[in-house]
């Protein structure tokens, strides 16, 4: 993989070339599609948030539909990029359902935490975009492999933790608000943030290779995947800090 983000891999576009020079992927088109996906996510985010406010005990179906449905649609998009103009918006809507309810739960426990998490996520996105465009971070092969390996290790730990939960097994400090637990969350946030750099690199390279127009949706989808992960990890980190 060229990216830690499994939805954005070089192999996803290397075999494609745009036969219609008027219908090739552009960076600006990808940016526009990203904004569209964020707006769609915001719509269902607000809906799910309001549902939690009116009935906190009745949002579990929304969380399950958003999480499981988003995972299924995301995997379909990864394996069939050509349908991303249809699946990427669906993914955004489903993730909004999940994030809205989860965020509302955090907000009840730690007032103002959601606003802080959103601001930090936006700040990290813009900062890394500036750093990437300035050339301060060089996306070398070793950099790609390092971030991909770290990302894979994190998700492996999460899977073990998820499965272990059914058997009463917990990975020490991973979900705890101890100094070590906070340090682990900081590392995970850094890895998630570095995936943004790889996403920028993927989108830029794909546009240079003149891949088909629908890859604008695929690139926007991949960027949204990373942003959702980054936001959730920042939310978790802030909750650990606030709980102390």
State pTM to two decimals. 0.89
> How crowded is residue 177: how many other Cβ atoms within 10 Å of its Cβ?
14
Asked if residue 122 is part of any domain, the answer here is yes
What integer pLDDT is reported at residue 175 of this predicted model?
Answer: 82
What integer pLDDT is reported at residue 22 of this predicted model?
Answer: 55
Determine the Cα–Cα distance for residues 54 and 148; give it in Å rounded to an integer.
Answer: 41
What integer pLDDT is reported at residue 1 of this predicted model?
Answer: 33
Asked if residue 105 is part of any domain, the answer here is yes
Asked if residue 6 is part of any domain, the answer here is no
Domain of residue 86, residue span? 24-243
Chain centroid to CA 244: 27
The number of domains in the chain is 1
What integer pLDDT is reported at residue 174 of this predicted model?
Answer: 82
The series of mean pLDDT values per 10 residues for the chain, 244 residues long, is 49 51 82 96 97 91 94 95 96 97 95 96 95 88 92 91 80 83 94 95 90 93 96 96 86
In DSSP terms, 212 is beta-bridged to 24
Asked if residue 103 is part of any domain, the answer here is yes
What integer pLDDT is reported at residue 244 of this predicted model?
Answer: 72
Asked if residue 14 is part of any domain, the answer here is no
What integer pLDDT is reported at residue 9 of this predicted model?
Answer: 54
Asked if residue 2 is part of any domain, the answer here is no
Q: Is 236 left (phi over 0), alpha (psi -120 to 50) or beta?
A: alpha
What integer pLDDT is reported at residue 8 of this predicted model?
Answer: 55
Asked if residue 10 is part of any domain, the answer here is no
Asked if residue 219 is part of any domain, the answer here is yes
What integer pLDDT is reported at residue 16 of this predicted model?
Answer: 54
């Amino acid at each position: 993989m060229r990216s830690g983000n499994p939805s954005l891999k070089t192999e996803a576009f290397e075999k494609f070339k745009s036969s219609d020079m008027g219908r090739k992927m552009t960076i600006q088109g990808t940016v526009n599609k990203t904004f569209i996906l964020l707006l769609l996510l915001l719509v269902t985010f607000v809906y799910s948030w309001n549902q939690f406010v009116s009935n906190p005990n009745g949002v579990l179906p929304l969380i399950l539909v958003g999480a499981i449905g988003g995972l299924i649609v995301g995997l379909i998009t990864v394996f069939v990029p050509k349908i991303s103009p249809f699946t990427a918006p669906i993914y955004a809507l489903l993730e909004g359902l999940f994030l809205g309810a989860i965020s509302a739960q955090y907000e009840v426990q730690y007032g103002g935490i959601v606003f802080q998490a959103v601001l930090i996520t936006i700040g990290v996105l813009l900062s890394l975009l500036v750093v990437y465009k300035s050339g301060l971070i060089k996306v070398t092969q070793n950099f790609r492999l390092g971030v991909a390996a770290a990302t894979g290790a994190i998700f492996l730990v999460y899977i073990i933790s998820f499965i272990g939960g059914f058997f009463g097994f917990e990975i020490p400090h991973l979900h705890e608000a101890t100094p070590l637990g906070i340090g682990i969350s900081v590392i995970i946030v850094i890895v998630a943030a570095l995936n943004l750099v790889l996403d920028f690199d993927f989108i830029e390279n794909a546009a240079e290779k003149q891949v088909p127009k629908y890859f604008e949706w695929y690139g926007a989808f991949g960027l949204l995947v990373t942003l959702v992960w980054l936001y959730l990890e920042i939310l978790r980190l802030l909750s650990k800090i606030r709980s102390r």
